[in-house]
Structure 1
Amino acid sequence: MSKVPMTVEGAEALREELHDLKKVQRPRISQAIAEAREHGDLKENAEYHAAREQQSFCEGRIQEIEGKLANAQVIDVKTIPPSGKVIFGTTVTIINCETEQEVTYRIVGDDEADVKANKISINSPIARALIGKEEGDVVEVKTPGGEVEYEIDKVEHI
Protein backbone atom coordinates (compact mmCIF):
# COMPACT_ATOMS: atom_id res chain seq x y z
CA MET A 1 0.00 0.00 0.00
CA SER A 2 1.33 3.44 -0.85
CA LYS A 3 2.09 6.08 1.73
CA VAL A 4 -0.69 8.53 2.58
CA PRO A 5 0.28 12.15 3.32
CA MET A 6 -0.64 13.42 6.77
CA THR A 7 0.22 16.55 8.73
CA VAL A 8 1.98 16.37 12.09
CA GLU A 9 -1.24 17.55 13.78
CA GLY A 10 -3.31 14.89 12.00
CA ALA A 11 -0.93 12.10 13.04
CA GLU A 12 -0.94 13.38 16.63
CA ALA A 13 -4.76 13.44 16.71
CA LEU A 14 -4.87 9.81 15.51
CA ARG A 15 -2.28 8.80 18.14
CA GLU A 16 -4.36 10.48 20.86
CA GLU A 17 -7.52 8.71 19.70
CA LEU A 18 -5.64 5.39 19.59
CA HIS A 19 -4.33 5.94 23.13
CA ASP A 20 -7.86 6.74 24.36
CA LEU A 21 -9.30 3.65 22.68
CA LYS A 22 -6.62 1.33 24.09
CA LYS A 23 -6.18 2.78 27.59
CA VAL A 24 -9.67 4.14 28.40
CA GLN A 25 -12.38 2.71 26.15
CA ARG A 26 -11.12 -0.89 25.87
CA PRO A 27 -10.87 -1.42 29.70
CA ARG A 28 -14.26 0.29 30.22
CA ILE A 29 -15.91 -1.99 27.66
CA SER A 30 -14.25 -5.10 29.14
CA GLN A 31 -15.60 -4.09 32.56
CA ALA A 32 -19.10 -3.61 31.08
CA ILE A 33 -18.94 -7.09 29.50
CA ALA A 34 -17.83 -8.63 32.81
CA GLU A 35 -20.67 -6.89 34.68
CA ALA A 36 -23.22 -7.95 32.06
CA ARG A 37 -22.02 -11.58 32.27
CA GLU A 38 -22.79 -11.57 36.00
CA HIS A 39 -26.46 -10.94 35.21
CA GLY A 40 -26.79 -14.52 33.99
CA ASP A 41 -28.35 -15.76 30.75
CA LEU A 42 -26.39 -14.19 27.86
CA LYS A 43 -28.98 -14.98 25.16
CA GLU A 44 -31.44 -12.35 26.36
CA ASN A 45 -28.95 -10.00 27.99
CA ALA A 46 -29.19 -6.67 26.11
CA GLU A 47 -26.39 -5.07 28.17
CA TYR A 48 -24.03 -7.89 27.23
CA HIS A 49 -24.85 -7.68 23.52
CA ALA A 50 -24.50 -3.87 23.53
CA ALA A 51 -21.12 -4.10 25.26
CA ARG A 52 -19.93 -6.76 22.78
CA GLU A 53 -21.01 -4.52 19.90
CA GLN A 54 -19.09 -1.59 21.43
CA GLN A 55 -16.06 -3.86 21.82
CA SER A 56 -16.26 -4.88 18.16
CA PHE A 57 -16.48 -1.25 17.05
CA CYS A 58 -13.59 -0.24 19.33
CA GLU A 59 -11.31 -3.04 18.11
CA GLY A 60 -12.15 -2.24 14.49
CA ARG A 61 -11.33 1.44 15.00
CA ILE A 62 -8.03 0.52 16.71
CA GLN A 63 -7.04 -1.59 13.71
CA GLU A 64 -8.10 1.16 11.31
CA ILE A 65 -6.03 3.83 13.10
CA GLU A 66 -2.99 1.56 13.42
CA GLY A 67 -3.20 0.87 9.68
CA LYS A 68 -3.48 4.56 8.84
CA LEU A 69 -0.51 5.45 11.04
CA ALA A 70 1.55 2.61 9.56
CA ASN A 71 0.87 3.92 6.03
CA ALA A 72 1.19 7.61 6.90
CA GLN A 73 3.89 9.82 5.48
CA VAL A 74 3.95 12.58 8.09
CA ILE A 75 4.89 15.88 6.49
CA ASP A 76 5.86 18.88 8.63
CA VAL A 77 5.46 21.81 6.25
CA LYS A 78 7.18 24.13 8.77
CA THR A 79 10.50 22.35 8.07
CA ILE A 80 10.23 22.99 4.32
CA PRO A 81 11.58 26.37 3.17
CA PRO A 82 8.78 28.55 1.74
CA SER A 83 8.98 28.86 -2.04
CA GLY A 84 5.58 30.35 -2.87
CA LYS A 85 4.57 26.98 -4.35
CA VAL A 86 1.45 25.15 -3.17
CA ILE A 87 2.37 21.79 -1.61
CA PHE A 88 0.75 19.44 0.87
CA GLY A 89 0.33 21.09 4.28
CA THR A 90 0.55 24.69 3.09
CA THR A 91 -2.05 27.30 3.93
CA VAL A 92 -3.25 28.95 0.73
CA THR A 93 -5.20 32.19 0.36
CA ILE A 94 -7.10 32.32 -2.92
CA ILE A 95 -9.27 35.01 -4.47
CA ASN A 96 -12.29 34.22 -6.64
CA CYS A 97 -11.56 36.14 -9.88
CA GLU A 98 -15.27 36.86 -10.47
CA THR A 99 -16.50 37.84 -7.00
CA GLU A 100 -13.19 39.04 -5.48
CA GLN A 101 -14.08 36.89 -2.46
CA GLU A 102 -11.00 35.77 -0.53
CA VAL A 103 -10.78 32.41 1.22
CA THR A 104 -7.95 30.62 3.02
CA TYR A 105 -7.55 26.84 3.05
CA ARG A 106 -5.02 24.46 4.55
CA ILE A 107 -4.33 21.40 2.42
CA VAL A 108 -4.38 18.30 4.63
CA GLY A 109 -4.87 14.52 4.47
CA ASP A 110 -8.26 12.88 3.94
CA ASP A 111 -8.77 12.11 7.66
CA GLU A 112 -8.00 15.66 8.71
CA ALA A 113 -10.27 17.45 6.24
CA ASP A 114 -12.78 19.77 7.93
CA VAL A 115 -14.37 22.38 5.68
CA LYS A 116 -15.72 24.34 8.66
CA ALA A 117 -12.13 24.75 9.89
CA ASN A 118 -10.98 25.57 6.31
CA LYS A 119 -8.98 22.34 6.07
CA ILE A 120 -9.45 20.68 2.68
CA SER A 121 -8.40 17.21 1.60
CA ILE A 122 -5.44 16.81 -0.75
CA ASN A 123 -7.91 14.87 -2.94
CA SER A 124 -10.53 17.64 -3.14
CA PRO A 125 -11.01 19.37 -6.51
CA ILE A 126 -9.71 22.71 -5.18
CA ALA A 127 -6.57 21.18 -3.65
CA ARG A 128 -5.84 19.12 -6.78
CA ALA A 129 -6.09 22.29 -8.89
CA LEU A 130 -3.81 24.25 -6.51
CA ILE A 131 -1.02 21.69 -5.91
CA GLY A 132 2.14 22.62 -7.79
CA LYS A 133 0.99 26.14 -8.64
CA GLU A 134 2.61 29.32 -7.27
CA GLU A 135 1.60 32.66 -5.82
CA GLY A 136 0.11 34.85 -8.56
CA ASP A 137 -1.04 31.90 -10.69
CA VAL A 138 -4.67 31.70 -11.79
CA VAL A 139 -6.20 28.23 -11.54
CA GLU A 140 -9.46 26.83 -12.86
CA VAL A 141 -11.38 24.63 -10.45
CA LYS A 142 -14.09 22.35 -11.76
CA THR A 143 -17.02 22.63 -9.36
CA PRO A 144 -20.55 21.20 -9.54
CA GLY A 145 -21.70 24.68 -10.58
CA GLY A 146 -19.15 24.94 -13.41
CA GLU A 147 -15.56 26.14 -13.63
CA VAL A 148 -14.41 28.83 -11.22
CA GLU A 149 -11.18 30.81 -11.58
CA TYR A 150 -9.10 31.60 -8.50
CA GLU A 151 -5.92 33.59 -8.15
CA ILE A 152 -3.41 32.31 -5.63
CA ASP A 153 -2.75 35.30 -3.37
CA LYS A 154 -0.55 33.83 -0.65
CA VAL A 155 1.10 30.49 0.22
CA GLU A 156 2.15 30.05 3.84
CA HIS A 157 4.06 27.35 5.70
CA ILE A 158 2.29 27.62 9.06
Structure 2
Amino acid sequence: MGYMSQEGYDKLVADLHHLEAIERPKASAAIAEAADKGDLSENSEYDAAKEAQVHLEEKINNLKMTLAQAKIVDMSRLSTDAVQIMSKVEMTNLGLNKKMTYTIVSENEANLKQGKISIKTPIAQGLLNKKVGDVAEIKIPSGVIKLRIDKISIDA
Protein backbone atom coordinates (compact mmCIF):
# COMPACT_ATOMS: atom_id res chain seq x y z
CA MET A 1 0.00 0.00 0.00
CA GLY A 2 1.43 3.38 -0.98
CA TYR A 3 0.93 6.46 1.13
CA MET A 4 0.62 9.70 -0.81
CA SER A 5 -0.72 13.21 -0.61
CA GLN A 6 -4.10 14.16 -2.04
CA GLU A 7 -2.20 16.23 -4.63
CA GLY A 8 -0.15 13.20 -5.70
CA TYR A 9 -3.27 11.02 -5.90
CA ASP A 10 -5.12 13.62 -7.98
CA LYS A 11 -2.17 13.83 -10.40
CA LEU A 12 -2.20 10.05 -10.89
CA VAL A 13 -5.97 10.13 -11.54
CA ALA A 14 -5.40 12.85 -14.17
CA ASP A 15 -2.56 10.84 -15.74
CA LEU A 16 -4.79 7.76 -15.90
CA HIS A 17 -7.62 9.76 -17.50
CA HIS A 18 -5.19 11.15 -20.12
CA LEU A 19 -3.90 7.67 -20.97
CA GLU A 20 -7.40 6.20 -21.26
CA ALA A 21 -9.12 9.11 -23.03
CA ILE A 22 -6.35 10.33 -25.34
CA GLU A 23 -3.45 7.88 -25.63
CA ARG A 24 -5.53 4.68 -25.91
CA PRO A 25 -7.61 5.94 -28.91
CA LYS A 26 -4.37 7.18 -30.55
CA ALA A 27 -2.83 3.71 -30.16
CA SER A 28 -5.91 2.04 -31.65
CA ALA A 29 -5.87 4.46 -34.58
CA ALA A 30 -2.17 3.76 -35.21
CA ILE A 31 -2.89 0.01 -35.29
CA ALA A 32 -5.82 0.47 -37.67
CA GLU A 33 -3.77 2.74 -39.93
CA ALA A 34 -0.89 0.25 -40.03
CA ALA A 35 -3.30 -2.64 -40.68
CA ASP A 36 -4.69 -0.80 -43.70
CA LYS A 37 -1.25 -0.98 -45.29
CA GLY A 38 -1.67 -4.63 -46.20
CA ASP A 39 0.11 -7.85 -45.28
CA LEU A 40 0.43 -7.97 -41.47
CA SER A 41 3.10 -10.70 -41.51
CA GLU A 42 5.73 -8.29 -42.82
CA ASN A 43 4.31 -5.04 -41.51
CA SER A 44 6.83 -3.63 -39.00
CA GLU A 45 4.68 -0.52 -38.51
CA TYR A 46 1.79 -2.75 -37.38
CA ASP A 47 4.09 -4.71 -35.03
CA ALA A 48 5.42 -1.48 -33.52
CA ALA A 49 1.91 -0.09 -33.06
CA LYS A 50 0.76 -3.32 -31.35
CA GLU A 51 3.81 -3.28 -29.08
CA ALA A 52 3.18 0.37 -28.16
CA GLN A 53 -0.41 -0.56 -27.30
CA VAL A 54 0.77 -3.39 -25.02
CA HIS A 55 3.10 -0.98 -23.17
CA LEU A 56 0.29 1.58 -22.87
CA GLU A 57 -2.08 -1.02 -21.40
CA GLU A 58 0.61 -2.12 -18.91
CA LYS A 59 1.06 1.51 -17.87
CA ILE A 60 -2.72 1.95 -17.45
CA ASN A 61 -2.99 -1.25 -15.40
CA ASN A 62 -0.04 -0.26 -13.18
CA LEU A 63 -1.59 3.16 -12.54
CA LYS A 64 -4.93 1.56 -11.69
CA MET A 65 -3.23 -0.79 -9.25
CA THR A 66 -1.29 2.05 -7.63
CA LEU A 67 -4.49 4.08 -7.23
CA ALA A 68 -6.40 1.08 -5.86
CA GLN A 69 -3.73 0.51 -3.20
CA ALA A 70 -3.13 4.18 -2.43
CA LYS A 71 -3.76 5.49 1.04
CA ILE A 72 -4.09 9.26 1.20
CA VAL A 73 -2.23 10.80 4.09
CA ASP A 74 -4.38 13.00 6.33
CA MET A 75 -2.05 16.00 6.54
CA SER A 76 -3.86 17.39 9.59
CA ARG A 77 -2.90 14.31 11.61
CA LEU A 78 0.81 14.46 10.87
CA SER A 79 3.21 15.39 13.63
CA THR A 80 6.45 17.31 13.49
CA ASP A 81 7.88 15.44 16.50
CA ALA A 82 9.77 13.00 14.28
CA VAL A 83 10.49 12.50 10.58
CA GLN A 84 7.79 10.56 8.71
CA ILE A 85 6.25 10.48 5.26
CA MET A 86 5.26 13.98 4.11
CA SER A 87 7.76 15.57 6.54
CA LYS A 88 9.76 18.50 5.23
CA VAL A 89 13.17 18.06 6.81
CA GLU A 90 15.74 20.83 7.05
CA MET A 91 19.15 19.42 7.87
CA THR A 92 22.85 20.09 7.81
CA ASN A 93 25.28 17.74 6.11
CA LEU A 94 27.95 17.79 8.83
CA GLY A 95 30.73 16.55 6.52
CA LEU A 96 30.20 19.40 4.05
CA ASN A 97 28.67 21.88 6.52
CA LYS A 98 25.93 22.37 3.95
CA LYS A 99 22.21 22.95 4.56
CA MET A 100 19.73 20.72 2.72
CA THR A 101 15.95 20.48 2.67
CA TYR A 102 13.94 17.49 1.48
CA THR A 103 10.31 16.49 1.72
CA ILE A 104 9.78 12.75 2.09
CA VAL A 105 7.05 11.54 -0.24
CA SER A 106 5.71 8.37 -1.86
CA GLU A 107 7.69 6.83 -4.70
CA ASN A 108 5.17 8.17 -7.24
CA GLU A 109 5.54 11.75 -6.01
CA ALA A 110 9.34 11.86 -5.86
CA ASN A 111 10.83 14.79 -7.78
CA LEU A 112 14.38 15.77 -6.90
CA LYS A 113 14.09 19.16 -8.67
CA GLN A 114 11.27 20.02 -6.24
CA GLY A 115 13.21 18.62 -3.27
CA LYS A 116 10.85 15.65 -2.92
CA ILE A 117 12.59 12.33 -2.25
CA SER A 118 11.03 8.89 -2.21
CA ILE A 119 10.49 7.29 1.17
CA LYS A 120 12.35 4.29 -0.28
CA THR A 121 15.66 6.14 -0.79
CA PRO A 122 18.54 5.48 1.64
CA ILE A 123 18.46 9.11 2.84
CA ALA A 124 14.72 9.03 3.61
CA GLN A 125 15.03 5.64 5.30
CA GLY A 126 17.89 6.97 7.44
CA LEU A 127 15.88 10.03 8.48
CA LEU A 128 12.64 8.24 9.45
CA ASN A 129 11.68 8.58 13.12
CA LYS A 130 14.60 10.93 13.85
CA LYS A 131 13.90 14.06 15.90
CA VAL A 132 15.23 17.62 15.73
CA GLY A 133 18.84 17.62 16.94
CA ASP A 134 19.42 13.96 16.03
CA VAL A 135 22.27 13.07 13.70
CA ALA A 136 21.47 10.41 11.14
CA GLU A 137 24.40 8.42 9.77
CA ILE A 138 23.35 7.26 6.33
CA LYS A 139 25.21 4.87 4.07
CA ILE A 140 25.12 6.04 0.47
CA PRO A 141 27.10 4.71 -2.53
CA SER A 142 29.96 7.17 -1.93
CA GLY A 143 30.28 6.37 1.79
CA VAL A 144 28.56 7.49 4.97
CA ILE A 145 27.05 10.94 5.44
CA LYS A 146 26.04 12.54 8.72
CA LEU A 147 22.91 14.66 8.61
CA ARG A 148 21.81 16.72 11.61
CA ILE A 149 18.05 17.33 11.72
CA ASP A 150 17.54 21.09 12.17
CA LYS A 151 13.78 21.39 11.62
CA ILE A 152 10.79 19.19 10.80
CA SER A 153 7.68 20.74 9.27
CA ILE A 154 4.64 19.71 7.26
CA ASP A 155 3.60 21.53 4.08
CA ALA A 156 -0.17 21.37 4.22
Measured after TM superposition, the shift of residue 76 of structure 1 is 4.1
Matching residue within 64, 74, 77 for 2:72: 74
Q: Please say if 1:101 is aligned against 2:98.
A: yes
Q: Distance in 2 between matches of 1:7 and 1:131?
A: 17
Separation in 1, partners of 2:124, 2:138: 9
> Relative to structure 2, which stretch is displaced further, 44-53 or 4-13?
4-13
Pairing 1:138–2:132 present: no
Aligned-residue RMSD, C-alpha: 1.6
How is 1:3-152 mapped onto 2 (pairs within 5 angstroms)? 3-77=1-75, 79-152=76-149
Alpha-carbon deviation of 1:81?
5.0
Kindly state the Cα deviation for residue 126 of structure 1 after the two structures are TM-superposed. Answer: 1.2
* Alpha-carbon separation, structure 1, partners of 2:18 and 2:91: 37
Aligned residue number for residue 154 of structure 2:
157
User: Which runs of no fewer than 5 residues in structure 2 stay unpaired?
Assistant: none
Q: What percent of counterpart residues are identical?
A: 39
Alpha-carbon distance between aligned partners in 1 of 2:92 and 2:39, rounded to the nearest angstrom: 65
- Taking the aligned partners of 1:20 and 1:126, their CA distance within structure 2 comes to 33
Counterpart Cα distance in 1 of 2:4 and 2:79: 19
**Number of residue pairs matched by the alignment:** 155
Q: How far apart, CA to CA, are the structure 2 residues paired with 1:143 and 1:36?
A: 48
**How many Å apart are 1:18 and its aligned residue?**
0.8
* Partners of 1:136 and 1:152 within 8 A in 2: yes
Change in 2 beyond 3 A, CA 1:82/1:51: same
Distance 1:91 1:43 in 2: 56
> What is the CA–CA distance in structure 2 between the aligned matches of 1:10 and 1:104, rounded to whole Å?
20
TM-score, normalised to structure 1, is 0.88
